[in-house]
Structure 1
Amino acid sequence: MFASRMTSRDAYRIYLIMEGATAFFLGLIFTVNMVYQVTVVDLNPLQLVLVGTTLETVIFLFEVPTGIVADVYSRRLSVLIGLALIGLGFALEGLVPAFGAVLAAQLLWGLGVTFTSGATQAWIADEIGEDRAGAAFLRSAQIGAVAGLAAIPISVGLASLNVRIPIVFGGALFVVLAAGLSLVMPEDGFAPAPRASRSPWGPMCQTLRDSLRLIRGRGVLLTFLAISAVLGLYSEGFDRLWTAHFLDDFTLPALGDLKPVVWFGIIGAVGSLLSIGTTELARRRGSVEAPQAMARALIWLTLGTVVAILVFALAGHFALALGAYWIASALRSTSEPIFNAWLNRSVESSVRATVFSAVGQVNAIGQIAGGPWIGWIGTAWSLRAALSISGLMLTPAALLFARGARQSADAVADSSVLPDAPVLAGVEETA
């Protein structure tokens, strides 16, 4: 096939195109998706969070099984299936403006996310090598921010006609992307499990056992799981309620004859620009070159995010809340690729997708556990209280990042004394 004759440089370009396109489509959808759920489907804070809980429950149930599929059979196939399912989910949500349909859409979207989660990172790491993967994660985050920014005015323009249009259109584009990638996406750096195995569950179970053994044997991976749980606990409330906070607790300033949805385009556009700048700053400062540098960056990014969310939740003026939201969004978008790069350096290729998926599953557990009661607080008390508690729940992540830094340093020290002892993948080159 044509895809099999491509080089690692081609794979790198395809990865950036895929991530850019995904960000563009998500920009079309997410610029107005929460506005759609609040104003058209008329969801209350608890329902808004239950939508997210449904999504995360699906992720919890399928994250590791689909990760094993990527490790045993094909990362490429897993990514293609995932993109198509994500598109179908969004199309359903936009076509049927009802709470039940929105919940059903999360089933498709969530299943699609589990097919792409871990598989995408593992695929590009296999194709271009671990050393280049960290820089690729940051570069894709920058391209994604630019693509998302470009999508915002298009989304707002379409939403001015009907807020459902960009959601359905974005979903359709995901399906088109999956079809296009099926023609050009290579997979030369991955060797599937031998076909000699009579049962597909044999290699899948072996991969899962290897992944669990690796996680238990490396303290830093257990710390990553704890961090992911904390990130899940806090993020569901913030992600699902920030739009309602702007709409319910503030009066959006008039923009002439333009509709209020334009404000959310502005919010997304400025947030994307800030994300581009903070991610570039992190790249230039070498924040993905060694575990210690990654940990230091993540500690400060986490503490800054906590403060920004608290200011956003408690601000009495729209301008202050808006600035705090932009800061929180920029810091969060910078943290994700650094965290992925650190995790990528800690895992061997044979189980990388499964470990990434396990981390994603723990994140889903956190969101399932934290989301509903945060939504209840938002409904029974106030959105300000719910958002404040969400921000405070992120605080332990800074301590866990510091712990991970010490564990990474200990692993490097142990490897210098005992050369045959298992160490973090990639640490030898960066220590």
Structure 2
Amino acid sequence: MHRLFLGLLIIGPVLTPYLRSKGFVYTEIMLLQSISAVSLVVFEMPTGIVADRVSRRLSLFLSGACIAAGLVVYILAARFATLAVGEVMISIGLTFRSGADAAFLHESLARLGREQEYRQIEGRAISWIFIGQSIGTFACSALYEWDKDLPFWLSVGAASLAAAVVLLFTEPQRDKADRPYISHVLHSFGVALGSPALRWTLVLVAIMGFTTRVGFWLYEPYFVAVEIPILWYGPIFGVFNIIAALSARFLAHRWGNAPLAMLFMLLLCGLTFLLPALFVSAWSITIISLQQIVRAAYKPTLGAWVNGHVTDDVRATMHSIFGSVAALAFSVVSPLIGLRLDGAGAIPTYALMGMGVCAAAVLLGLWLRLSRRWTRSG
């Protein structure tokens, strides 16, 4: 239910139009997202420590509370600086959840002797998010046309309910980290950098981090380029979420070798940018919709892979490290994407993203081929 309520944050289809209605250009919008991403990097480690050393349940409760408060600031803000404060608050909420939910699930399953079911159950849980989003996004555009703030107020309520339902959770017994804060973080980084498998994964996470996040912010510019009315944004996102929900429920746990699966997802993302740039049409949204398969399958695949390479005392912090890497990569790239959108337009930006991501997938594939020993364990 926690993830279902988080899924009822229905602002996605109208977020970019909402910001543009406040007078911001793409460069400013993407700069806001860069600030948000830097906030994720700054707070990812401390919030991961809270989950590892204090309570996963407390971490998840604070997640919903911070997101709700940040959305209120977002609604009331009229200036860039105030919006940035709202972005930071939402980012803090996201960091409280990023490591805690995956670790909470893994440890609950481990106590039941069912940890091998992680990907299947994580995929099912993610599908609840997409189901929740599907419920709201179909009506989101109509609500936005009626009152621009209404989808955001409804999302405040959903985030508050997500925080409240966590109070019903029972936290399993587990090993807790007993190192000092700095020592714990350095130890976790050492684990990540000391493993050939995790080093490769860190690079992939960086590329996938900006690819999937930039993909979301490129939807609206493409819709504008092919002249799709805002009223249709909600139904389109609703279909996107249905694809994601089905993928999470039926595909997320079926990938075999995890590194190869994640590499395929990266290549698929590249093609969903490149092909719409070559075939500019409203029908190319069907190609863009394939990003939803990656959106659904990537997290459980990555989570299971990372969980298999770390121990309980660093698990949430390790997930936070990977979240930080993804956010930092996005924070660097997003302002450049905004400048590209304002300067060249949506289609050239799609072409650039497609070529860059496909090239990165090829290079990572070559690295993977040279590292066969550890890939066999995926």
TM-score, length basis structure 2: 0.90
C-alpha displacement of 1:31: 2.6
Aligned positions of 1:170-189 closer than 5 A: 170-182=155-167, 184-189=168-173
Could you tell me whether the CA contact under 8 Å between 1:272 and 1:330 is conserved in 2? no
- The aligned residue for residue 188 of structure 2 is 211
How far residue 250 of structure 1 moved from its aligned partner, in angstroms, is 2.2
Residues 1:157 and 1:71: Cα distance change in structure 2 (over 3 Å): same
What amino acid does structure 2 have at the position aligned with 1:274? I
Identify the match of residue 154 of structure 2 among 165, 169, 181: 169
Distance 1:42 1:244, change over 3 A: farther
Give the letter aligned to residue 357 of structure 1.
S
Structure 1 pair 374–338 and aligned structure 2 pair: CA distance change class (3 A): same
Shift, 1:75, TM fit: 1.5
Do residues 356 (structure 1) and 327 (structure 2) align?
no
Aligned-partner SS, 1:316: coil
1:35 aligns with 2:17: yes
Q: Quick one: structure 1 residues 47 and 241, their matched pair in 2 at CA, closer, same or farther if it must change by over 3 Å?
A: farther
Distance 2:160 2:370 in 1: 44
CA displacement 1:6-58 (0-9 Å, x = unmatched) = xxxxxxxxxxx21122112x2x12132222112x2132111121111010010
Name structure 2 gaps, 5 residues minimum.
Answer: none
| SS in structure 1 of the partner of residue 180 of structure 2 | helix
Secondary structure of the structure 2 residue equivalent to 1:55: helix
Match of 1:250 among 209, 214, 226: 226
Aligned pairs, how many?
373
Deviations 1:308-344 (A, max 9, x none): 1112234332222x22221223333332322222222
> How big is each residue's C-alpha offset from its partner over 1:146-188, in whole Å with a ceiling of 9 and x where there is no partner?
2211122343343232121111220232123212322x11112
C-alpha RMSD of the superposition: 2.4
Identity %: 21
| Alignment pair present for 1:131 and 2:116 | yes
Structure 2 counterpart of 1:318: 282
**CA separation in 2, counterparts of 1:100 and 1:220?**
41
| Letter of the structure 2 residue corresponding to residue 250 of structure 1 | V
Aligned positions of 1:28-427 closer than 5 A: 28-38=10-20, 40-129=21-110, 130-182=115-167, 184-193=168-177, 203-247=180-224, 249-252=225-228, 260-283=229-252, 286-287=254-255, 292=257, 294-320=258-284, 322-395=285-358, 396-397=360-361, 399-400=363-364, 403=367, 407=371, 410-411=373-374
Q: Which stretches of structure 1, 4 residues or more, deviate above 6 A after TM superposition?
A: none
Larger radius of gyration: 1
1:20 aligns with 2:1: no
1:9 corresponds to which residue?
none
Q: Give 3-state SS (helix, strand or coil) of 1:186's partner.
A: coil
SS at match of 2:338: helix
Check conservation: 1:237, 1:375, Cα contact below 8 A. no
Contact 2:35/2:87 (8 A) holds in 1: yes
Cα contact 2:212–2:269 (8 A) shared by 1: no
SS in structure 1 of the partner of residue 19 of structure 2: helix
State the Cα distance separating 1:406 from its structure 2 match: 6.7
Structure 2 Cα separation of the partners of residues 20 and 345 of structure 1: 27
| CA distance in structure 2 between the partners assigned to 1:317 and 1:180 by the alignment | 43
Deviation string for 1:218-245 (max 9, x for gaps)?
A: 1111111111111234344332232123
The one-character-per-residue Cα deviations of 1:65-122 (angstroms, maximum 9, x if unpaired) are 2212211111211111122101111222123344333222111011111111111111
When residues 216 and 165 of structure 1 are mapped into structure 2, their CA distance, relative to the original with a 3 A threshold, is same
- Scaled by the length of structure 1, what TM-score is found? 0.80
Cα deviation per residue 1:202-232 (whole Å; 9 max; x = unaligned)? 5323322321221122111111111111123
Q: 1:85 to 1:243 in 2, by over 3 A?
A: same
Q: Does the 8 Å CA contact 1:63/1:360 hold for their aligned counterparts?
A: yes
Task: Report the CA distance shift for 1:187/1:112 in structure 2 as closer, same or farther (over 3 A).
Answer: same
Asked if the contact 1:220–1:404 (Cα under 8 Å) also holds between the matched residues in 2, the reply is no
Change in CA separation of 1:337 and 1:391 when aligned onto 2, cut-off 3 Å: farther
1:86–1:313 Cα change, 3 Å: farther
Deviation per CA, 1:377-430, whole angstroms, max 9, x where unpaired? Answer: 1112222222322233323246436745875x52488xxxxxxxxxxxxx6xxx
State the secondary structure of the residue aligned to 2:289.
Answer: helix
Distance across 2 between alignment mates of 1:172 and 1:97: 21
1:3 is matched with which residue? none
